């Protein structure tokens, strides 16, 4: 689905803010809980939006990819119950309903995006360009594979989103940001605060006795998810890579010499010449000038001056023959002897006289010096030519259910056996698993697959292929208390220190809010007071994290509060809050207006989407939805 592609590869349409907004806005649209939206639906569809069905396959793919992204980001595996508790299933369905309802609206309005526009945008997307700045087909395929999307599906979805974007621009273009909103944002972003600060160290919590068995078990049960063993998978990988297939030793000396002679410029520097040029209106005037120069009547520079050219700027540069744009000029210039004038040359931009003032001769590396490079180049070209044939042959063997190990042995290809790897690419000891080709793409595919499933070959960045067979899956599980007792006890101790510091800080905050001086309260506890000024929202400063700074801004001026600071706790009192005056039409005001025009567009689009969904009509088959996701609500 489109959203999977947005998150996985950040492609061209994913960069358009308005289209990204569609993903999130409808989470606030009350689809669930509205009975009219949950009438009976088709048994083959999870939902129907107008005349547009949302299939079980679409929901299942979107849900699995969303779940995989969440698990990758949080580095923990979710059970079905946990995923439902987070609302991932409903978020995915809401997203698909939003996209389907907008697609229905674009069709009703007759909005169409031609193939040529979609393909042009794909080819111009920087994310799909290689180091040479051109569209890289291998990179394009690799990006799609990482997202788990077929090429045809990707192109179709891009056309759909482009149509949605047209609709969005019509709905939310040229919105004005009110001055009151701009001023509120100005006040929020420019406010600065000063505080008196005291840090409560862990030692202030006193001696912490060992926990009882009951306390330890209670802490373990409350924090069990922090002691989970991640899912590990065992896999065999068969790599078909041009570098692996290349056999330089099989390239003959004759082939090496032919390549060397046919592409000499690649193995050295071509001849370069400093070429001067004078342009004439016709051949007759050029010929007359040539005779004047050859007879000694006028120097070449004087003829140039008569033609309105600066004698100091006659040179085209020190160029090779290939670097000259005009073929006729190139042929004539590289046939001239030094310091002689050519016959009139009819070039693309008029008739010219040429003179060569200096020649840098060709330099060529000896064949023996570049022979190895040439052999590798030829072998790699041949390997690339044979790559698709080998790929097809392996696919035939795969279709015949031949194991990867047998295929690799028969064809002399490397087979990588990984006994255990997590979704983050680590082994059970936490070390990074080496030798995994195209790590991100391959890992994503491995954790979308199942043991015994028929998986398609992955395309690598180098243009090769990777086949994989999952041999075992060790699901994530909660480690028993006895296995993680030391870690649990350490966690309990940290929590107990934090609890005691929080209680101590609460007592001190109460005294400060009653009017006692900060120095008095802090000194009684053996703490030093630090004065900090010019604090800005979301900006760490003087050892204070952004979270603590934001806690300062959430506290009223003249009052006190505390916040966690690693193993310590920060106790502070807000002394002052200042901000500069708001000036309309200033550069800062203009920047706020531009930034919040998008925010207003989000709100308008949210209202529009809700209205669209109301008008097109939505039905959701909850039984089909539960079956697709794999569980009960």
- Residue 119: the pLDDT is 80
Best CA proximity match to 89, nearest among 39, 31, 40 = 31
Tally of CB atoms within 10 A around 116: 8
Confidence grade of residue 14 (pLDDT, cut at 50, 70, 90): very low
DSSP designation for 30: -
Mean pLDDT of the region 71-79: 68
Mean pLDDT of the region 160-168: 83
- What average pLDDT does the chain have? 84
Give dist(CA 530, CA 523) in Å, integer.
Answer: 12
| Measured distance between the N- and C-terminal CA atoms of the chain, rounded to whole angstroms | 24
Whether the pLDDT of residue 133 is over 90: the answer is: no
Instruction: Locate the DSSP E strands across 148-246.
Output: 192-200, 228-229, 232-240
- Segment among 122-126, 180-184, 228-232 with least mean pLDDT: 122-126
Mean pLDDT of the region 107-125: 83
Mean pLDDT of the region 55-82: 78
- Residue 631: the pLDDT is 54
Tally of CB atoms within 10 A around 239: 23
Give dist(CA 319, CA 356) in Å, integer.
Answer: 11
Looking at the DSSP assignment, which residues form a beta bridge with residue 359? Answer: 273
- The tokens 């930034």 sit on which residue? 595
Tens of pLDDT along 492-533? 999 999 999 999 999 999 999 999 999 999 999 999 999 999
Confidence grade of residue 12 (pLDDT, cut at 50, 70, 90): very low
φ/ψ of 579, rounded to 5, equals -160, 150
Give dist(CA 260, CA 227) in Å, integer.
Answer: 63
- Residue 487: the pLDDT is 93
Tens of pLDDT along 21-66? 333 333 333 333 333 333 333 446 899 988 888 998 888 888 888 8
- Residue 70: the pLDDT is 79
Answer yes or no: are the C-beta atoms of 25 and 606 closer than 8 Å.
Answer: yes
- Residue 421: the pLDDT is 94
Answer yes or no: are the C-beta atoms of 238 and 467 closer than 8 Å.
Answer: yes
Distance of CA 95 to the CA centre of its chain: 21
Of residues 225 and 139, more confidently modeled? 225
**Alpha carbon of 160 to those of 104, 105, 165: distances in Å?**
10, 11, 9
Tens of pLDDT along 465-486? 889 989 999 999 999 999 999 9
- The tokens 């000063």 sit on which residue? 194
Mean pLDDT of the region 179-195: 94
Instruction: Express as a percent the part of the chain with pLDDT over 70.
Output: 90
Which of 235-244, 271-280, 378-387, 432-441 is modeled with the greatest confidence?
Answer: 271-280
Question: Any residues with CB less than 8 A from the CB of 241 and at least 6 apart, and which?
Answer: 437, 460, 462, 464, 465
Handedness of CA 540, 542, 547, 548 (dihedral sign): negative
Instruction: Locate the DSSP E strands across 6-142.
Output: 45-49, 52-55
Answer yes or no: are the C-beta atoms of 421 and 235 closer than 8 Å.
Answer: yes
Of residues 573 and 323, more confidently modeled? 573
Tens of pLDDT along 299-331? 999 988 888 777 777 888 888 888 887 889 899
- Residue 219: the pLDDT is 94
Distance of CA 554 to the CA centre of its chain: 34
Of residues 292 and 455, more confidently modeled? 292
Q: Which two tokens stand for residue 470?
A: 């999952």
Tens of pLDDT along 364-398? 888 888 888 888 888 888 877 778 788 888 888 88
Answer yes or no: are the C-beta atoms of 428 and 452 closer than 8 Å.
Answer: no
Looking at the DSSP assignment, which residues form a beta bridge with residue 195? Answer: 532, 574
Q: How many CA atoms lie within 13 A of 334 on its CB side?
A: 19
Looking at the DSSP assignment, which residues form a beta bridge with residue 474? Answer: 232
- Residue 44: the pLDDT is 64
What is the three-class DSSP state of 236?
strand
Whether the pLDDT of residue 19 is over 70: the answer is: no
Answer yes or no: are the C-beta atoms of 421 and 280 closer than 8 Å.
Answer: no
Question: Any residues with CB less than 8 A from the CB of 552 and at least 6 apart, and which?
Answer: 193, 195, 535, 544, 561, 572, 574
- Residue 512: the pLDDT is 97
Mean pLDDT of the region 119-131: 82
Instruction: Express as a percent the part of the chain with pLDDT over 90.
Output: 36
């Amino acid at each position: 689905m489109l959203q999977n592609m947005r998150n996985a590869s950040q492609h061209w349409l994913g960069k358009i803010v308005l289209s990204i907004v569609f993903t999130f806005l409808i989470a606030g649209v009350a689809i669930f809980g509205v009975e009219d939206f949950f009438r009976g639906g088709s048994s083959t569809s999870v939902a129907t939006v107008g005349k547009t069905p949302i299939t079980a396959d679409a929901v299942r793919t979107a849900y699995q990819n969303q779940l995989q992204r969440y698990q990758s980001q949080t580095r923990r595996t979710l059970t079905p119950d946990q995923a439902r508790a987070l609302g991932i299933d409903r978020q995915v369905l809401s997203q698909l309903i939003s996209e389907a309802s907008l697609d229905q609206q674009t069709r009703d309005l007759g909005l169409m995006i031609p193939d040529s526009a979609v393909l042009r945008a794909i080819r111009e997307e920087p994310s799909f360009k290689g180091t040479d700045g051109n569209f890289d087909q291998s990179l394009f395929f690799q990006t799609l594979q990482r997202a788990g999307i077929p090429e045809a599906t990707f192109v179709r979805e891009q056309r759909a989103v482009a149509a949605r974007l047209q609709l969005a621009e019509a709905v939310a273009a040229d919105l004005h940001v009110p001055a009151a909103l701009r001023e509120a944002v100005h006040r929020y972003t420019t406010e600065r605060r000063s505080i008196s600060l005291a840090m409560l160290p862990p030692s202030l919590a006193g001696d912490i006795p060992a926990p009882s068995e009951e306390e330890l078990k209670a802490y373990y049960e409350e924090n069990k998810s922090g002691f989970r063993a991640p899912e590990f998978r065992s896999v065999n990988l068969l790599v078909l890579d041009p570098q692996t297939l290349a056999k330089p030793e099989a390239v003959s000396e004759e082939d090496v010499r032919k390549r060397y002679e046919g592409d000499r410029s690649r193995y050295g520097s071509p001849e370069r010449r400093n070429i001067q040029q004078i342009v004439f209106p016709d051949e007759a005037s050029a010929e007359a000038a040539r005779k004047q120069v050859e007879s000694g009547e006028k120097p070449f520079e004087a003829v140039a001056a008569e033609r309105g050219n600066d004698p100091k700027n006659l040179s085209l540069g020190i160029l090779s023959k290939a670097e000259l744009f005009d073929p006729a000029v190139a042929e004539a210039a590289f046939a001239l002897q030094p310091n002689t004038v050519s016959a009139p040359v009819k070039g693309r931009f008029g008739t010219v006289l040429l003179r060569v003032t200096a020649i840098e001769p060709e330099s060529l590396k000896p064949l023996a010096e570049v022979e190895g490079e040439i052999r590798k180049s030829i072998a790699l070209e041949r390997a690339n030519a044979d790559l698709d044939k080998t790929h097809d042959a392996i696919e035939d063997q795969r279709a015949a259910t031949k194991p990867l190990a047998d295929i690799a042995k028969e064809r002399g290809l490397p087979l990588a056996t990984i006994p255990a790897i997590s979704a983050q690419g680590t082994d059970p000891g936490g070390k990074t698993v080496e030798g995994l080709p195209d790590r991100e793409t391959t890992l994503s595919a491995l954790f979308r697959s199942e043991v015994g499933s028929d998986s398609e070959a992955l395309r690598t960045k180098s243009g090769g292929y990777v086949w994989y067979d999952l041999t075992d899956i060790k699901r994530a599980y909660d480690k028993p208390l006895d296995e993680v007792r030391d870690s649990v006890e350490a966690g309990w101790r940290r929590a107990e220190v934090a609890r005691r510091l929080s209680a101590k800080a609460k007592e001190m905050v109460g005294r400060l809010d009653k009017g006692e001086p900060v120095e008095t309260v802090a000194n009684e506890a053996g703490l030093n007071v630090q004065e900090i000024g010019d604090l800005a929202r979301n900006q760490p400063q003087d050892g204070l994290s952004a979270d603590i700074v934001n806690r300062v801004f959430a506290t009223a001026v003249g009052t006190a509060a505390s916040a966690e600071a690693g193993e310590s706790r920060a106790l502070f009192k807000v002394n002052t809050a200042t901000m500069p005056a708001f000036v309309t039409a200033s550069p800062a005001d203009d920047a706020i207006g531009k930034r919040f025009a998008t925010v207003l567009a989000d709100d308008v689009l949210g209202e529009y989407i809700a209205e669209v969904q109301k008008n097109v009509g939505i039905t959701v088959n909850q039984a089909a939805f539960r079956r697709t996701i794999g569980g009960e609500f």
